Structure 1
Amino acid sequence: MTRLLLRATCGALFAGLLGLATSALADTSQLYRASGMETHQAHFQQALEKARSRYAAQLPAAVAENLVRKSNERFEPDRMHARAMASLAVNLSDEQLNGAREFYRSELGEAVVAAETRATSPAEVRRMQNGLPPIALSAEREATLRRLGQQLPALDMGEEVSLALASLATQSANDMLGGLLTIPEGFANQRRGSIRAQMEPNLPQTLAYVYRDLTDAQLNAYADWSETDSGQAFFRASSAAARDALNP
């Protein structure tokens, strides 16, 4: 009787823990989709595929094949999604996760995600690389964009993507050189400060372009949320999730 009771208790406890884990995973998955992170990952894969095509056309066949094989291993989509969601789950408390999910399910959150996911689409990235159209800003809107820029992890994520791709190229080059000449693995990481310095001056106009369809009231409300505990925690967690997704 005692053994049966113990087994039943253990079984109930295990079922309860499994239920909590499943619920937490579902909550994280919902935030991952609602915040646009899933779409950003898809856009990254599209950009990566275009880069692979360029490698195939510009590099010797053996080098291009090695680089493509390495990129397939490192940036496999399902594993990237899994690493990103696991990172979110670890770095957000239940309260912070729920606060972020509530924001991104709101009308304002949906408008923000529409603007941000449009900005990372291959077509829009190509358009921005060709030069941003000048946008006249009121002093108030410019100040709001600067507030937002201080919270958003845009520069951090830009660095991580650039460094991950540079690190992949370094690793592939070392494999092809066969030890005759080795490029230090930390070589790409030495460029971190210079990459940020190149991107930072363009941030205000980039944000003005990305959020051009948001009204002043919407932009101000987004900046306000970015300064809350939930907003700051989510941006920190999303930056860590991008880093973990890109660097297995």
Structure 2
Amino acid sequence: MRRFISVVLLLCAFPAWADMHDELYKAAGWPEQRGHFTEALRAAQQRYQNSLPPAVFQALVNNSNQRFAPQAMDQRAEASLRQALARPQPALAFFQSPLGRKIVAAELLATRADQLARNAQGLPKMQASDTRQLLIGHLARALPAREAGAEVSLAIAGVAADSLSSMIPGLLGGGSPQGLLEGQRERLEQQIGADLDNTLLYVYRELSDPELEEFVAFAESADGQAYYQAALAAVRAGLAVGTR
């Protein structure tokens, strides 16, 4: 009887445990960030409309809509997060905390379409104390912001290159679109890294120094690093990096 009760309790607890990844995915703002990416993609498509022949533009739209279908992106990213992050509990607890919610809100605000348009010519130069600069330096090294930012840029550029290559063979000089884009990854990461401290100072400007210190402590911890490395893998999965 005792063994039966134990099995029943285990079966009751398992779905809650298994759903922690889904809770984490939502608590960390992934669905909203994917929505912001979709908005940015639509804006990028429109920028190409006046500079490409109609057939090429339509191919670009079709390719990008297929590759970046919202539901498929969420499914790929969440599946990758499940596979890469064995213990979601610490990250979930952090992002469900008042500080975690404040961090997610700051990140979502920074990637909203109106904010991206507002800062299209560059972010304002942020002033900060030596202590805050030191904390931001630690955060810049702990977060995979360079890599994730480069992947987003390459994903959008890759759709355009694929579309142009398929419609106009030989346009890229015989090289594969992905091969050419791979050469840009390091350059993009360097560009992002050059202004990363100022970007993070701007994004997290509403965090107090103690809050920023607590954020750094989580990001640098073993659990934080496990989450952020899994998050980078999830970004790449959601963007279908390497599938074109």
Using structure 1 for the length normalisation, give the TM-score: 0.88
- 2: distance between equivalents of 1:35 and 1:143? 25
SS of equivalent to 2:55: helix
- 1: distance between equivalents of 2:120 and 2:203? 13
Partner of 2:33: 40
User: One-letter code of the match for 1:134?
Assistant: K
Q: CA deviation at 1:182?
A: 3.5
Which runs of 5 or more residues in structure 2 are unaligned? Answer: 1-6
- 2: distance between equivalents of 1:56 and 1:129? 20
Matched-pair contact (CA < 8 Å) for 1:56–1:64: yes
Partner of 2:167: 176
Using structure 2 for the length normalisation, give the TM-score: 0.89
Partner of 1:102: 93
Partner of 1:57: 50
User: One-letter code of the match for 1:132?
Assistant: L
- 1: distance between equivalents of 2:58 and 2:47? 12
Q: 1:63 to 1:24 in 2, by over 3 A?
A: farther
Quote the sequence identity (%).
Answer: 36
> Of residues 18, 24, 28 in structure 2, which corresponds to 1:31?
24
- 1: distance between equivalents of 2:205 and 2:116? 15
Q: CA deviation at 1:176?
A: 0.4
Q: Does 1:153 align with 2:149?
A: no
Partner of 2:232: 239
Q: Does 1:67 align with 2:60?
A: yes
Q: CA deviation at 1:240?
A: 0.4
- 2: distance between equivalents of 1:184 and 1:53? 25
**Residues 1-248 of structure 1: matches in 2 within 5 Å?**
20=14, 22-23=15-16, 25-94=18-87, 97-178=88-169, 182-185=174-177, 186-247=179-240
> Mean alpha-carbon deviation: is it higher for 123-132 or for 192-201?
123-132
Matched-pair contact (CA < 8 Å) for 2:41–2:156: no
Matched-pair contact (CA < 8 Å) for 1:67–1:169: yes
> Mean alpha-carbon deviation: is it higher for 76-85 or for 53-62?
53-62
In terms of Rg, which structure is larger? 1
Q: CA RMSD in A?
A: 2.2
Partner of 2:3: none
User: One-letter code of the match for 1:152?
Assistant: L
- 1: distance between equivalents of 2:159 and 2:73? 15
- 1: distance between equivalents of 2:123 and 2:82? 36
SS of equivalent to 1:131: coil
> Mean alpha-carbon deviation: is it higher for 69-78 or for 160-169?
160-169
User: One-letter code of the match for 1:184?
Assistant: S
Q: CA deviation at 1:119?
A: 0.9
Q: 1:179 to 1:135 in 2, by over 3 A?
A: closer
Equivalent residue pairs, number: 233
Q: 1:210 to 1:31 in 2, by over 3 A?
A: same
User: One-letter code of the match for 1:205?
Assistant: N
User: One-letter code of the match for 1:48?
Assistant: L
Matched-pair contact (CA < 8 Å) for 2:136–2:197: yes
Matched-pair contact (CA < 8 Å) for 1:149–1:207: yes
- Runs ≥4 residues deviating over 6 A: none
Matched-pair contact (CA < 8 Å) for 1:163–1:188: yes
